[in-house]
Each structure stands twice: as C-alpha cells, then as structure tokens.
Amino acid sequence: MKKYLFWASTVILLVGFFWVRPQIFAVKESAVSIPFQLAEVKKGEIFARVTTTGTVNPVLSVTVSTQVSGTIKELPVDVNSRVKKGQLIARLDQDLFKAEMLQVQARLEDALANLVREKAGVKMQKDQIDASIAATKASYKNVKQKYKRASELYRRELISKDDYETAKAEWEMGKSRLKETSARIDETKVKEANIMAAEAQVKRARAELKMAQIQLNRSVVRAPISGIVIEKNVEAGQTVAASLQSPPLVTIADLTKMKVDAWVDEADIGRVKVGQKVRFQVDSYPSRIFKGRVVRIYPSPQIQNNVVTYDTEIHVGNEDLALKPGMTANVTIILARKNDVLISPHTALRIQRRDIRKVYPEIGEEHRTEHRRTSLEERAARARRRFLEGKGRVWVYRNGKPERVHIRFGATDARSMEIVDGLGEGDKVVVGILTESVKSQTRSRGRRASWIRRRILGGF
C-alpha cells in the first residue's frame, strides 16, 4: 500500500510541475518585458583627454652673472628691456684690471729681454769656444807633424835625443790642450739651460697677460641670449664680490617661447605621450584657448600627501607675449579624438554574470564551478590585463535574452569607448539592471513557491 502511495505522489508532482512551468515563465515575461537598462551601439565622437593644472615658464631663461669682483660702473638695462645677444648688460670699474695688465706686460717685456741676453751670451761663448778649438786644432796639427818628422829623423840618427824628446813633449802638450779646449763645449749647455729658464719665464708672463686680458674682458658683461630682462638684482655703483659664487645681475628670458610644467597623476601618465596636442587656459584670458604640444615627460616623480605626479613639459608659442611667467594654466592633454566611429558606454564592461543572474538565474550555470575555482585576485588581475590590451566582455540583449560577447575596444573617454570588433551598429548592450525587475523576479519566485505548496502539496 505504501509503495502505491509513493508512486502516486511522484506522478502527481511531475504532472503538476510540467503543467505549471508554462505559467511560471509567462508570469516572468509578462511582469517585465526588458529587465535591463540598454544602450545602443552607434556612431559618434570619442574625445579622450587628461585634465590637470600647471605653471607657465619661459623655455629659455638665463641668469646673467659676473665672474670678477668690482664696482658696477655702468648698468644700461632695466626690467622689461629688450636685449639682443652680445648687447652690453653691465660694465665694472676697469682701472684695477688695466693696471694689472700693464704690470704683466712689463714682466713679459723683461722676460723677453732676459731671453735675448741669454741667447746672445750663449752665441758669444760658442763663437769663442769654436775659435779656440780651431786654433788649438791648428797648433796640434803643427806639433803632430813636427813630432812625426822628429821621430823619423831620430830613427835615422840624424837628430839628437833631446830634439826628439822636445818634439814629443810639444806634441803631448798640444794633444792635451786640444782635449781641454774641446771639453769647453759643455760649458754652453749650462747657458742653454739658462735660455730654457728664460723661455719659461716668457711663457709664464704671456699666460699672466692672457689672464689679465680675460679679467679685463670679464669686467664687461654682455647678454648671452636675445630676450627680455625679467629680473634685475643690482644697481649701478654697487660692489659685487665673486668669491664663492657668481653674483647674479639680471635674468633674461625669451618670452616668445613658453612652456607649461603640468603635473599629471600617476593613474593618467601611462596614456600621455610625447607629441600629443594640448589645450589650456589661464585666468588672465578666460575666453582664449592656447594650443601646445607635449615635448618631454620627466621620469622623476613628485610625491606630496601620498599623491604621485609627474612633470610633463608642454611647449607653446607666445609671439604676442600674452603669457607671463608664473601664470597658472588649466591644461587639457588630448589623448585621442576620433569622429564617426562606433561607440558604446564603457559602463557595459562593468556588468557581470552575477548581475545578469539576478534576473535570469539559469544563465551561466555551466561556468559557476570554474568561476569558483579562480580566486578573486586572479580574476581581478585577468580583468586588468584584458582592459590594458583593449579586450573586454559585454552583455548584448538579443532575441529576448542577454548574450555575452567578447569585444575589442580602442580609445576611451569619460563616457564612451570606441568599438573595434565584436559589436555592430544597432546592437543594444546591457549597461544596468532595473531594480523593479529584480524585485518582480523575487516576488514571482515567492508566488510560484506558494502556489506549488497550495496546489500540489496541500499547503505544506
């Protein structure tokens, strides 16, 4: 009997389920026709940009200093003076520099005169030694011949031994004198050393003269570049001392070429590239837009209050001198600007499977086991990698239900992204879940459960 009751109850439950199932889905479809917030993929404009602030400064600015100490005798420039390269900026009192140069010139002349005397003395000594050697050689040749002749006559016994000995003694004395006279050549080497010392004195005096001339030239300060004097630190009559560092006189800047030092946040610096166009405004000209270009990104960061930023240098022309050093610029760096491209709200990338399952619980059951095996960190790292590669997944509403689609996207701005592949014009992507749909789905589940208990299980 119990066996028949079990099978009867099973049959009743199966019949009730299949009879009720169409009504369940009819309730869901009738409750909410489209339970999502949808956005249509269409053609439009992408304007990707980074906004920040910066400071206007000259591209080329030089602080003109003096390398010598002295009293400023002449200072013909002032603030806002236009100067050209090589123009007189300041002239120091030159009396001391000129006196020093005269002293060095006198020392050089004395060294040159001493060199001439030493060379003349060496020449005279050489001439004397050469004459003495020549006379000694002649005398030695004569006594040598006499000695040979005396030796031959003595061998024949034609002269006495005393005559022979006398000739021999004269020959030996002549030989000794010749050797002694020839040794006097070394005396000139001492004089030649004196000449070398005199030449060194001349070189030293010439170097001192050159240094004195340089010091005299440095007492006249000229503009190293063409530009405008933007700062003046001294006045005529003031004494400057160039002991440890060069005292600044004026600052000259070329205001026709300006730069903006903009500090870009670390989150945006990866998208900023050299050559990108820039637009900025300053408070002095609120209705005017200045245009420039990124020329340099410095790798050294600035960290302030745990905020990391990078100096991005932007160059801009300033022919009308409207921009002034120190102005604050509101900068917009144009990352990308494209017209007539397929665009979609990038909020579609945020819709996850768990969001869809709030309305369609049966979707994605086959992926739940694999999804659980992956840790949250791995899923986040994978999502970041896909985003950097321009890859993503969105949900498209097709044939009355959501469908997951893999896409590739390009440039992005504050609201939209450029669709490169995966979607076509007219596709409708899910960008949000309607709250009422989730509540309706929950109420429908509750009603179905109550109805089944009442109709099939008798209220249990």
The pLDDT of 445-459, averaged and rounded, is 48
First vs last C-alpha separation in the chain: 23
Interatomic CA distance for residues 40 and 92, integer angstroms: 77
pLDDT tens for 351-408 read 888 888 888 877 765 555 555 556 677 777 777 788 778 888 889 988 888 888 898 9
Least confident of 81-90, 241-250, 321-330: 241-250
pLDDT reading at 94 higher than 80: yes
Please say whether the dihedral angle defined by the alpha carbons of residues 69, 70, 71 and 72, taken in this order, is positive or negative. Answer: negative
Return all residues near 117 (Cβ < 8 A) that are at least 6 apart: none
Give the range with max mean pLDDT: 116-130, 201-215, 351-365, 383-397: 201-215
Q: What is the mean pLDDT of the chain?
A: 80
Q: Is the pLDDT of residue 254 over 90?
A: yes
360, 367, 353: which is closest to 438 by C-alpha? 360
Which CA distances in Å does 229 have to 224, 232, 411?
12, 7, 45
Of the listed ranges 3-7, 15-19, 335-339, 416-420, the one predicted with least confidence? 15-19
Measure the CA–CA gap between 72 and 370, rounded to whole angstroms: 84
Around Cβ 37, how many Cβ atoms within 10 Å? 15
What structural domains does the chain harbor?
1-35+438-460 (no CATH), 49-61+254-339 (2.40.30.170), 63-90+222-248 (2.40.50.100), 97-216 (1.10.287.620)
Report the range out of 35-44, 118-127, 171-180, 187-196 with the highest average pLDDT. Answer: 35-44
Asked whether residue 202 carries a pLDDT value surpassing 50, the answer given is yes
H helices of 1-85, in order, are 2-31
Q: Tens of pLDDT along 6-37? A: 555 555 555 444 444 444 433 344 344 678 88
pLDDT value at position 327? 95
Determine the pLDDT at residue 223. Answer: 93
The model's confidence at residue 192, banded by pLDDT at 50, 70 and 90, is confident
Q: Give the whole-angstrom CA distance, residue 386 versus residue 408.
A: 9
pLDDT of residue 10: 57
Report yes or no: 63 and 224 within 8 Å, Cβ to Cβ: no
What string of DSSP letters covers 421-444? ES--TT-EEEEEE-HHHHHHHHHH
Greater model confidence, 18 or 314: 314
